[in-house]
Amino acid sequence: MAPPDVEFSAPLRLPSVIMSVKNVDTEKILSEQNAGARGNALGDALATLAPAVAAAAEAEPQGALANAVEVSRMLRDGKLAEVPTAFKFPEQMRATIAHDDFCDDKDIPVIDLTPVWAEDGAGMEKLVDDIARACETSGFFHVVGHQVPDRCVKQMQAHGRTLFELPLDRKLQGSFAAGSTAQRRGYSCTPKTVTPSPALIWQEGFTVLGGKTGQVDVESYAEKIWPDDVEQSKDFSQVYQEYAAHSMRLSLVLKDLLIKSLKVDPAHFEQYFESPVQVVHLTYYPPSPSPLEVMGLNPHYDMGFLTLIAQDDVPGLQLLGKDGNWFSVRPVPGAFCFNVADSLEALSNGRFRSNLHRVLVNKERPRLSISTFLAPDFNKSVDPAPELVDDEHPRVYRPFTFGEYMSTIRGAHLDHITNCGHLLDLVRIDASTK
Ligand SMILES: O=C(O)CCC(=O)C(=O)O
Ligand SMILES: [Fe+2]
Closest ligand 1 atom to residue 316 Cα is 3
How remote is the CA of residue 77 from the centroid of ligand 1, in Å?
26
Q: Whose CA is nearest to atom 8 of ligand 1?
A: 371
pLDDT tens, 363-379?
Answer: 999 999 999 999 999 89
Q: Parse the chain into domains and list their residue ranges.
A: 93-427
CA dihedral over 359, 360, 363, 364, signed as positive or negative: negative
How remote is the CA of residue 315 from the centroid of ligand 1, in Å?
12
Rounded to two decimals, what is the model's pTM? 0.82
What distance in Å separates the CA atoms of residue 431 and residue 434, rounded to the nearest whole number?
Answer: 5
What does CATH list as the number for 93-427?
2.60.120.330
How remote is the CA of residue 266 from the centroid of ligand 1, in Å?
28
How remote is the CA of residue 372 from the centroid of ligand 1, in Å?
9
pLDDT tens, 221-280?
Answer: 899 999 999 999 999 999 999 999 999 999 999 999 999 999 999 999 999 999 888 889
pLDDT tens, 70-92?
Answer: 655 665 565 666 777 777 888 88
Q: Are β-strands 367-375 and 277-285 bridged in parallel, bridged antiparallel, or unpaired?
A: antiparallel
What distance in Å separates the CA atoms of residue 297 and residue 58, rounded to the nearest whole number?
Answer: 24
Angle at 185 between CA 181 and CA 190, to 5 degrees: 75
pLDDT tens, 386-433?
Answer: 999 999 999 999 999 998 887 766 555 555 555 567 888 888 897 545
Which ligand has its closest atom nearest to the C-alpha of 191? 1
Closest ligand 1 atom to residue 311 Cα is 3
Q: Which of 204, 371, 374, 406 to mutate to test the pocket of ligand 1 (most atoms within 8 A of CB)?
A: 371
pLDDT given for residue 29 in this prediction: 29
SS (H, E, C) the chain: CCCHHHHHHCCCCHHHHHHHHHHCCHHHHHHHHHCCCCCCHHHHHHHHHHHHHHHHHHHCCCHHHHHHHHHHHHHHCCCCCCCCHHHCCCHHHCCCCCCCCCCHHHCCCEEECHHHHCCCCCCHHHHHHHHHHHHHCCCEEEEECCCCCHHHHHHHHHHHHHHHCCCHHHHHHCEHHHHCCCCCCEEECCCCCCCCCCCCCCCEEEEEECHHHHHHHHHHHHHHHCCCCHHHHHHHHHHHHHHHHHHHHHHHHHHHHHHHHHCCCHHHHHHHHCCCEEEEEEEEECCCCCHHHCCCEEEECCCCCEEEEEECCCCCEEEECCCCCEEECCCCCCCEEEEECHHHHHHCCCCCCCCCEEECCCCCCCEEEEEEEEECCCCCECCCCHHHCCCCCCCCECCCEHHHHHHHHHHHCHHHHHCCCCHHHHHEHHHHHC
Q: Quick check: CB of 355 below 6 Å from ligand 1? A: no
What distance in Å separates the CA atoms of residue 337 and residue 142, rounded to the nearest whole number?
Answer: 4
User: What phi and psi, each to the nearest 5 degrees, are found at residue 74?
Assistant: -65, -40
Q: How far, in whole angstroms, is CA 426 from its chain's centroid?
A: 20
Q: Quick check: CB of 407 below 6 Å from ligand 1? A: no
Closest ligand 1 atom to residue 283 Cα is 1
Q: Quick check: CB of 302 below 6 Å from ligand 1? A: yes
Q: Provide CB contacts within 8 A for 238, sequence distance 6+.
A: none
Q: Whose CA is nearest to atom 3 of ligand 1?
A: 317
Closest ligand 1 atom to residue 367 Cα is 1
How remote is the CA of residue 385 from the centroid of ligand 1, in Å?
28
Which ligand has its closest atom nearest to the C-alpha of 318? 1
Kindly tell me if the per-residue pLDDT of 62 is higher than 60. Answer: no
For 44, other C-beta atoms within 10 Å of its C-beta total: 15
Q: Whose CA is nearest to atom 1 of ligand 1?
A: 369
How remote is the CA of residue 310 from the centroid of ligand 2, in Å?
12
